[in-house]
Amino acid sequence: MTAPTPVHYLSTLSFPDWWLDRLRARHPGLTVTQIHAASAADVPDEVWRRTEILHTGSVFPESAEAAPQLRWVQLDTSGADHLKGTSAWDLPVPLTSIGGISPVPMAEYVMMMLLGLAHRLPRAIEVQHGGVWPSLEERWNTLMPRRLRGATVGVVGYGRIGQEIGRLAGQFGMTVLGLKRGRGTRAGEFFGSAATDAAQAELYTPDELHAFLGRCDYLVVTCPLTEETRGMIDAAALDALKDGAMVVNVSRGGIVDENALRAGLRSGRVAGAALDVFEEEPLPDGHFWWREPGVLLTPHVAGFSPDYEEQTLELVGTNVERYLAGRELVNLVDRAHGY
């Protein structure tokens, strides 16, 4: 009997040995290779030629001809916007994301920032760094918290992450609004599941953006970056918010107009912001966001998950099983929609 042809899996990442060993044990017919690569040139030509499954963040063969056996690319990112306009986007193979790994930590991050903004954490940090105990009048006027209970939070991008944010916000007694491309669910299967006890959110579509924003005491942006969402939260959108609303952005740089947001903060129309993503990353030394009053800033960490390796192994293992069985993969990237 002829032995089955091995399926060659290549990781250009840096998973530990135990991770690779467990993937091999789960799929004995899989030949697992890992090359920690910064560019396509770091992968030998013969490895590219035999690779059937590629697991990568941003390293791709220079052309389809360089990897003639390639049949599927598993991305190490939740989004795929970084591939738009590159040769990787045009590869004639399906792309899958790691969406579903980080909704819980991202939602917890958002709630941390909502609480921090509501309880005037940017001002409290300034007081701490100043080293001077403020007067009772100053504390009363600048450190008085705002309510979350009874306030309205609007979530732009009400998918898995947005629904988990809605679930937690509902526990704080907030009214939850969700804005998504369609009021139905997107076709396709996804890793993990959306929160089953999410707050009952009132849903809006993008053509209702300004009506949606007009109800928001807090705005959370967590949608993918696409041609439709690029620049969505511009000066006009920020002006449509309730006066004194607060903004949290955990999506991608380019969705929120940063100059317009800064102008809103300076004018007082926007009372505070928490930013994890930026148009330019890494954020340069001396950039205005580093020291902008009223802003909480983190360096693109909201999606970090303490269970990343275990969850990624489960996702990849599930998708390898589906691939070998000829079934549809989970987390397929829809190139037409850009995510």
Per-residue pLDDT, averaged over 225-244, amounts to 96
What is the per-residue pLDDT for 188? 55
Is residue 129 flagged as an active site residue?
A: no
- pLDDT exceeding 90 applies to what percent of the chain? 84
DSSP, res 301: -
- The catalytically annotated residue of 138, 208, 279, 281 is 281
More confident residue, 108 or 1: 108
- Could you tell me if 66 and 173 lie in one domain? no
- Could you tell me if 284 and 237 lie in one domain? yes
Task: Quick: pLDDT tens for 47-70.
Answer: 999 999 999 999 999 999 999 999
Dist. CA 10–CA 50, nearest whole Å: 9
- Could you tell me if 19 and 92 lie in one domain? yes
Closest CA relative to residue 221, chosen from 258, 266, 170, 264: 258
- Could you tell me if 129 and 236 lie in one domain? yes
Q: How many domains does the chain have?
A: 2
What is the per-residue pLDDT for 187? 47
86: helix, coil or strand?
coil
Is residue 314 flagged as an active site residue?
A: no
Closest CA relative to residue 45, chosen from 31, 56, 35, 30: 35
What is the per-residue pLDDT for 200? 79
- The catalytically annotated residue of 300, 309, 314, 335 is 300
Task: Quick: pLDDT tens for 120-136.
Answer: 999 999 999 999 999 99
What is the per-residue pLDDT for 190? 63
Range of the domain at 17: 7-101+306-325
- Could you tell me if 225 and 134 lie in one domain? yes
Whether the CB-CB separation of 338 and 227 falls below 8 Å is answered with yes
What is the per-residue pLDDT for 80? 87
**Strands 30-34, 7-11: parallel, antiparallel or unpaired by DSSP?**
parallel
Dist. CA 339–CA 331, nearest whole Å: 9
Q: What is the mean pLDDT of the chain?
A: 93
Dist. CA 338–CA 82, nearest whole Å: 10
Structure tokens at 124: 């409290």
Is residue 36 flagged as an active site residue?
A: no
* Beta-bridge partners for 11: 34, 55
CA atoms within 13 A on the CB side of 104: 10
Helices (H), the chain: 17-26, 45-50, 103-118, 121-130, 136-142, 160-171, 209-213, 235-240, 258-267, 308-325
**Which residue bears the tokens 């052309």?**
63
What is the per-residue pLDDT for 208? 97
Read off the pTM.
0.90
178: helix, coil or strand?
strand
What is the per-residue pLDDT for 2? 45
Residue 336 lies in a domain: no
What is the per-residue pLDDT for 98? 93
**Strands 202-204, 53-56: parallel, antiparallel or unpaired by DSSP?**
unpaired
**Strands 72-75, 95-96: parallel, antiparallel or unpaired by DSSP?**
parallel
- Could you tell me if 83 and 141 lie in one domain? no
* Beta-bridge partners for 74: 55, 96
Structure tokens at 288: 């205005």
What is the per-residue pLDDT for 60? 96
Query: What confidence category does residue 192 fall into, taking pLDDT thresholds of 50, 70 and 90?
Result: low
Task: Quick: pLDDT tens for 157-185.
Answer: 999 899 999 999 999 999 999 999 865 54
Dist. CA 164–CA 166, nearest whole Å: 5
Question: Using alpha carbons only, what angle is made at residue 83 by residues 33 and 91, rounded to the nearest 5 degrees?
Answer: 65
First CA to last CA across the chain, in angstroms?
43
- Could you tell me if 264 and 320 lie in one domain? no
Residue 333 lies in a domain: no
Asked if the model's pLDDT at residue 82 lies above 90, the reply is: no
Residue 255 lies in a domain: yes
- Could you tell me if 11 and 89 lie in one domain? yes
Which H or E element spans position 245? strand 245-249
Dist. CA 333–CA 152, nearest whole Å: 32
* Beta-bridge partners for 152: 175
**Count of CB atoms situated within 10 Å of the CB of 187:** 7
Asked if the model's pLDDT at residue 237 lies above 70, the reply is: yes
Task: Quick: pLDDT tens for 277-313.
Answer: 999 999 999 999 999 999 999 999 999 999 999 999 9
Q: Which residues contact 247 (CB under 8 A, 6 or more apart)?
A: 218, 219, 221, 233, 238, 241, 256, 261, 270, 272, 273, 274
What is the per-residue pLDDT for 216? 98
- Could you tell me if 47 and 174 lie in one domain? no
Dist. CA 227–CA 132, nearest whole Å: 48
**Strands 218-221, 152-156: parallel, antiparallel or unpaired by DSSP?**
parallel
Residue 209 lies in a domain: yes
Query: What confidence category does residue 194 fall into, taking pLDDT thresholds of 50, 70 and 90?
Result: very low
Asked if the model's pLDDT at residue 37 lies above 70, the reply is: yes
Dist. CA 140–CA 146, nearest whole Å: 12
Maximum separation of any 2 CA atoms in the chain, in Å? 86
- The catalytically annotated residue of 55, 120, 181, 252 is 252
User: What's the CATH number where 64 sits?
Assistant: 3.40.50.720
More confident residue, 23 or 184: 23
- Could you tell me if 70 and 144 lie in one domain? no
Query: What confidence category does residue 196 fall into, taking pLDDT thresholds of 50, 70 and 90?
Result: very low
Dist. CA 72–CA 320, nearest whole Å: 10
